[in-house]
Structure 1
Amino acid sequence: MENNIDNKNNYSNLKKDKKSQKIQNLEKRIPQIPEQLYNILRKQHYQIEDHSAVKLCGWVRKSFLEDKVCYKSKFYGINTHRCIQGTPSVIWCQQQCEFCWRVLPSDLGINEPNFKAPKWKEPEEVAEDILKMHKTIITGYKGIIDRIGTEKYKEATEPKHVALSLAGEPTMYPYIDELINIFHKKKISTFVVSNGILTDVIEKINPTQLYVSLDAYDLPSYKKICRGTEQDWQSILNTLDVLGEKGRTCLRTTVIKNINDDLSKFTELYDRANVNFIEVKSYMNVGYSRNRLNLDDMIKHDDLISMCNNIEDKSIFKVIDDAPESRVVLLSNTKDDRVVNPKIDFENL
């Protein structure tokens, strides 16, 4: 009888030890990321390492299986199948944009201040984490190498571009400047997509191309669309004032029907920023944004082109390209000192 009791106690203790170890492993793997949020990201095929994450862009899959290329390839010459979609700050962002296709803490009823920033890793470690996670994803396609092609698959395992834009706000990672430089030393180009709130960081960094999202034209529209603060909006305006002195820069406006689709309200801010390019993109009803917006909130591509053509006479920008499948239009600065070739010479960066 005593042996049976001892065995039960030992089994119970073993279960407790295993559960405790599982919790410790989870805490080690996802420091300060709410478990519910982490589980959703993993179900969406995010590879996560501490505060960094990588997810295979759908266009890489299309490049593998359908031999198609993304609009960044069409506009700028990116090799779609050699591009990493990653972030050093997977859940940390100052905004909660209505159109964001990522899962937001607010979607899950999570009060963002309840989770703090993690212990940020050194940039060398983050770069290796991002490359390792991407390699893990690509290796999963080795089983269909006959469909992809040996040469294309091999090239995909040797990425040449990284877009720090997957989720979160990349400039919140305190060593973003060093991370960019590490990728450049590895001969990997960088695209950084920022909300523009941290002006001091924007002034410092020099990625291959710097994007700043400009999805509102005044404070009320900003609060409605991005759910940010008045201070955040002022910081974005400050950022617009420094972009004209930087290298390759691009504003990105995501347009939502009947909310911010009057581009004439943006023209003053566009000219103020004096960037090289503007991408005007329709909101796409995908991911978690479907819980906040509807299919009818998307802009038809022909309408998007008309909207962009209509602002040519009101701004210093003109339409130079478009990509119907992604519902995006590219405009270029017409001022002599800001005109650059949209196609990037990656071999001589």
Structure 2
Amino acid sequence: MSQYQRYSRQMLFSQIGEEGQKKFGDTSILIVGMGALGTAIANHMVRAGFGKIRIVDRDYVEKSNLQRQMLFDEKDVEAALPKAVAAKNKLEKMNSEIKIEAITTDVDASNIIELVEGIDMVMDGTDNFSTRFLLNDAAFKTGVPYVYGGAVSSRGMTALFIPGETPCLRCFIQSDGSTTGETCDTIGVISPIVDIIASYQVTEAMKYFVGAHDKLNRCLLTVDIWNNHTYSMKYSSPKVDCPACQKQEYPALQHGATSDVASLCGRETIQIKIEKTFDLKEWSNKLENIAKVKKTPFLLKAELEEGERIVMFPDGRVLVQGTSDSGRAKALYSRYIGM
């Protein structure tokens, strides 16, 4: 009875109905990235009654996130909560019937297949093409649909890629994923375009799971809401030399495809992943005499006398904030942690 009360308006939509609602409840979704797109996607999917949502993000909540990342508030910033944890806290209050799994980690070639295990669809809430190619390759290797999305400035793009039925992301974007390009941290982003792209992503997922495949928008859709432009690039045949959907080489999944040092999307932040784990209590004791330290159950921040900041996570990751120079970041890492 509670299901009818909660989802009654959605089930009145004849294209979904009671049977469609049951299908949503039996579906497991992976959302990678709990930033602007990811939080909007999760909000829609949890409210819509998708049965299991696995959310993954490597970062923690900062004040600059609040303008567009709808699941976070000022208390999350004060507590320096990991985004996955903060998002789960909000989502569980929206719908206690949904199973929500929150994982704070960096998604890379070493863990993506495990993260996709038991999942029916991969939703893209990321902000860089190296991770998107990773999601694309993992989805096509495992036969799971992948919903691409991106938003920057007033523009957004989205597409649903289905293994065995459509081309993949690599067929449209010829790049190794290393380009810095335009990001929300360099040219900004307005919140409405995020909501629009996330809504398209979730709607395509709804169509797919209720079996309305004739209604799927089989194109790469581009929207610019400030300049009133919309463009659809219809799917054609996959590129014959595509290393993912045709050659099945999946380059993003290959050994060594993921670097131990990565720049985070124009944020003057370098991520370094060398150690397997960190004991935050132990490191707090080590650093408190030489830096201003704040430790939470999820991370440790150390303000360095040089002006930069080190953020350590239990899974062995370190963010060196305040520099975009990987050499400088590695030097600080070596000085305070050791390499």
What's the TM-score once normalised by structure 2's chain length? Answer: 0.28
What's the TM-score once normalised by structure 1's chain length? Answer: 0.27
Query: Comparing both structures, which one devotes a greater share of its residues to strand?
Result: 2
Which has more radius of gyration? 1
